[in-house]
Each structure stands twice: as C-alpha cells, then as structure tokens.
Amino acid sequence: MSLSAAEALLFARRSVRGFLPDPVPRGDVERMLRAARTAPSGANLQPGRFHALTGAPLAKLSVALVDAASAGRAQVSQYSYFPQPMPPALKARQRAAGHALYAALGIERRDLPGRRAQFARNYGFFDAPVGIVVTIDPAMGKGCFMDLGLSLMALMIAAEGMGYASCGIGALANHADVAHAALGLGADEMVVCGLALGRADPDAPANSVRTERAPLEEFATLRGF
C-alpha cells in the first residue's frame, strides 16, 4: 500500500539534534507558523504563542540558558511534563530512547559528564539556526495544552514538507524563568517548550537514531469493522 503525501511526511519526520548552519529565511518561518495556526482547537481559542529567534537574539538566549543549567540552579518548570513516579513500562521506553541516542554518539553508560554535556545541548537548541520558544497562557485549561500540541505537530509537518528538520525541547521549561526574562514575556505567557529548526546535518551521528513506535494493537482498538 502506497503512502499518501500526508502519511509520507508523518513517517519521515523525526527529532533531529544536528543541524547545518544554513540560515532559514524569515518567509519560510512565517509559512510554518501560519501552518501551525491552522490546527483545530476547542471553541477556536487557538492557544499558545511562538517566539522565533535567530542570529544574535537566539545566541543570547542560548548562552543564558546554558549558563543557568551549568550553574546547577534549581529547575523552575511551571508544569509537570512526565508522570511521577514513571511507570515501569514507560521508564523502559524512556531508557531505550536515551540509550539509542547515547550509543549513536559514542557516550558510554557510565560517562555521566558526557551525558550531561549532551543534555546541555538542549539549551543551545542543538546549534540550530532557528530556535522557537513556545508559551501558553497559564489560565488556560488542560485541554488547551492538547490544542497547543496539535499546533506544534502542524508546524513540524509543515517544516518537514519544506525540507527542514525540527526537534521539540521540553527541557527548556526546566529554566522557564530564564527564557521568560530574556524575552520580556508577561504574566500571561508560561514557557511550555522550545523547538529547534533548520536543515538536518546528514553527517551528525545523533541524526542516525530512530526511536521505535508501539505497534497498533498496543495503543488502539477497532470495533465494528
């Protein structure tokens, strides 16, 4: 069975952690952001905002985030990303994804400094030419986070269709106050995550990693077909 154009983009998309330095034209970023806003949302509330940075503004933000992380300061995320405690089945999935990445990079399991250094690259947006900080009004309900996720996926698929790569950066929320201050955001914007955007570096070892997806029978039931 051949894939539709939409399916082809969905199956081709992956999280890229190695980018070429090629700049992304403003017009292309605007196209992706407009595509993101086409996502459906309850009552058409269209929750979430996207702050796209490149050049000096991105470099300044990255330095602030990396400095905050390297200082070992307490994390200040305003929402819970993962379940606490993490169920064993999900913990195994998390470990498998991490192992695949570190193995591709040649970082041994006991190499804690190497692992920390790689994780710190989240705060530098993996050296992508464009970094996007994603926010939401904290007064929004939990369902609006779902709607924001739909917008993020729409943005990523638009990027994929234009020949760009992306990577969501949930770790950005660990130092949300740093990003919040650097961008001069108001109280009506809570930092949710970041997004790295650019052309994928075909020679970056990290980009050889493809995480597995659960089989259909594990997450879906079909009745009456």
Q: Count CB neighbours of 53 within 10 A.
A: 20
Residue 164: its pLDDT value, please?
Answer: 98
Alpha carbon distance 23, 5 (integer Å): 26
The percentage of the chain sitting over the pLDDT mark of 70, rounded to a whole number, equals: 100
CATH number of 11-80+122-204: 3.40.109.10
Tell me the domain boundaries of the chain.
11-80+122-204
Contact 154, 134 (CB under 8 A): no
Q: In what order do the strands lie in the sheet with 130-136?
A: 49-54, 130-136, 190-198, 165-169
Q: What is the predicted pLDDT for the residue at 167?
A: 98
Element (H, E) at 176: helix 176-183
- Does the pLDDT value for residue 72 go beyond 90? no
pLDDT in tens, 123-172: 999 999 999 999 999 999 999 999 999 999 999 999 999 999 999 999 99
The pLDDT assigned to 2 comes to: 86
List, in order, residues 6 or more apart from 143 with CB less than 8 Å away.
Answer: 42
Phi, psi torsion values for 135, nearest 5 degrees: -130, 165
